[in-house]
Every structure is written in structure tokens, then in C-alpha cells.
Amino acid sequence: MTFRLLPRLAAPLLLVPASLGSAHAAQAADAPAYLALGDSLAFGVGAQNPAAEGYVPLTHEALLLNDRFADSGLDLINISEPGATSGDLLEEEGQLEQALAEIETRRESPEDDSIEIISIDIGGNDLLSLAEPDSPCFEDPGGAICRTTINGVLGDMQSNLTTVLTSLREAAPRAEVYVLDVYNPYAGTGESLEVVAGIGVQLVNGVITAVASQDELETRLVGIHDLFEGRGQFWVAGDGIHPNNDGHRVLAEALTAHIEGRPIVLPADIATPPPATPIPVENSGDDGLGMTAVMLIAVGAFLAGGFVSASYFVVRGRS
């Protein structure tokens, strides 16, 4: 069984044990593989030991106990990067290029190995990128330029994610592809930004759902958002953004349940208060993304209002 953690960008706050180091990309494995793409969540940020307690390695560990992989085993190839946006996936030597190369390499191996499972979480950083100091949403959250910028970010995200999933489907037509939606880290905290942050998150999730629902992509959506509603104070790490150990366990259980085709069963030792009622978001019917002027103004307000903590800029490599 091979376990590779191949982030293209180093994250100084994360220490990966040498025993979990990377094998050469061209080395043929003797088992099918689980390929993970994504941002800091897939990388394991927020967990005490990201390489073992992030949701990706936890999912891999759970799948190894499944009868499906009892004889063959299952390799893990995690190429996620902290701070990644949907656009970053398409960069030269980015995650999509790495994923396609890995798929091609395994297809040509003598053992005829294949990528059987692919998961991807992306999108949270697309909207958060608007919190850069030069963002027009800082100066005028309700202004036309801010609204146009947010529309553009969401439109680009839809195009980027569609390109990524289309390319993966073409390269690995038999693989099971799972896309996770985004949760509101403020959910259940009672803080003033809970509502507007929730609106921003649901805008992103509207894009994720629209793309993942395209029949030709044969992609399965893993709903994380509703699980976290009302529970953010229990499952989010001290940085206020990433999942803590329990949060990663919830993500892993949700993904594993979808892969195994069973209901989600949260671990009994995790604090699980009743979830709050999700924030309703009405579809304006005018642009296919469910965006109204009120939502855009609210998103601009939460971006300018300090939703992003300093830890975000550390992960993005900008502090």
C-alpha cells in the first residue's frame, strides 16, 4: 500500500512524518488508488496531526476496512494544497495536471492499476480571495464594482470547476468522483457574522451544486454544509475557519458514507447538538446562480467586516 502526500506548496505550520513521504510518481503501485484534490481542508489543516487526522487520511483508513478493498488494498494520493482556489487547480503543474499525470501513469503500469475514487473540496478560498486589501468590496461593499467582482468570482469558479471535473471524467471514466460542498464556520456561534457568512457560503455552494449536478460529469455531491449548521462552535478549530479533529472526523464520515452508499452516522463521542435551521436563500431566477442584490451586498459586507482571520493569510502564504 502506498501513501503519498504531494503538496506543490509547502505549508510551514504542517509537519508530515517522513514515514508518510512520497514515492516516485512514476513508480507503479500494486493496488487501486484514492486520489484527493482540494485546499487546506483536504490537506488536513485544523487537525492536530494533518497527515493522520485530516478527513482525507481518515477516509482512506475507513475504506481499507471495507470488503471492497480487502484483497487489493487501496493507495492514497493526496495532492491538495493549502490556500488553493478553483483557479489554482488549473495552473501549470497544478493539481489537475498532477492528477491527470497520475491517472496516465497508473493506466500504463503493468498491473493496470486505476484511480477508483477521486474526491475534491474547493471553493472556500475563491470567495475569501475578495478579502484582499485591494478588493473593491472593502471600500464599497454594496457598490456596483463589488457586485460585479463577486459575480465574476463565482462565474470563474463555475467555469474552473467544470473544467476540472470534465478533465477528470475524461481521463478516468470509471472512477467515482465526489465533490464536497462548503460549510459556514460561524454556524451556531451566535456571532454577528453568522448570517452574512452563511449567505456567502451558500452562494459558493450554489455553484458547486450546479456543476456537480451535470449528468455528463457523473459526479456525486457530498453535503457538508447542513451537517455543520448550528455546530460550528464544536467542530471548528481555534483559527475560526478550519475543522478541528472532530470536524475532520465528520467530513470523513460524510465522504465515507457516500462512497459506501449508506447513511451518515456521526461518531458517538462527537458533540452533536441539534443542527440549526439552515438560512433560506431565495433564487432570483435571473442568472442561474441564485444571486440577488441583497445577497451580494451582504457578502461584500462580510468580506469587508473581517470574516477572514490572520490564519487565512498565513495559509495563503501572504503574511
Q: Contact at 8 Å (CB) between 90 and 160?
A: yes
Spatial separation of the C-alpha atoms in residues 10 and 205, rounded to whole Å: 28
Q: What is the pLDDT of residues 253-282, one digit of tens each?
A: 999 999 999 999 998 898 776 665 554 544
What is the structure's pLDDT at 198? 83
Q: What is the pLDDT of residues 116-139, one digit of tens each?
A: 999 999 998 997 767 677 777 767
| 73 CB-contact burial (10 Å; exposed 0-12 / middle 13-18 / buried 19+) | middle
If we measure between CA atoms, which residue out of 181, 8, 183, 163 comes closest to residue 82?
8
Grid coordinates standing for 135?
A: 478588493
What is the structure's pLDDT at 202? 87
What is the structure's pLDDT at 79? 98
Spatial separation of the C-alpha atoms in residues 44 and 13, rounded to whole Å: 11
Grid coordinates standing for 13?
A: 505550520
What is the structure's pLDDT at 26? 33
Residue type present at position 315:
V
At a CB cut-off of 8 Å and minimum separation 6, what does 20 contact?
Answer: 3, 5, 51
Q: Contact at 8 Å (CB) between 181 and 122?
A: no
DSSP assignment string, the chain: --EEE--SS--TT----GGG-PPPTTSPPSS-EEEEEESHHHHTTTSSSHHHHSHHHHHHHHHHTSGGGTTT--EEEE---TT--TTGGGSTTSHHHHHHHHHHHHHTSTT---EEEEEEE--HHHHHGGGSTT-HHHH-TTSHHHHHHHHHHHHHHHHHHHHHHHHHHHH-TTSEEEEE----TTTTS--TTHHHHHHHHHHHHHHHHHHHT-GGG-EEEE--HHHHTTTHHHHB-TTSSSB-HHHHHHHHHHHHHHHHTS-----TTS--PPPPPPPP----SSSSS---HHHHHHHHHHHHTT-S-HHHHHHTT--
With both helix axes pointing from N to C terminus, report the angle between 293-304 and 144-171 in degrees, rounded to the nearest 10: 90
Q: Contact at 8 Å (CB) between 22 and 5?
A: yes
Taking 50 as the pLDDT cut, the residues of the chain under it are 2-3, 5-29, 279, 281-297, 301-319
> Strand 33-38 and strand 75-78: pairing?
parallel
Q: What is the pLDDT of residues 46-66, one digit of tens each?
A: 999 999 999 999 999 999 999
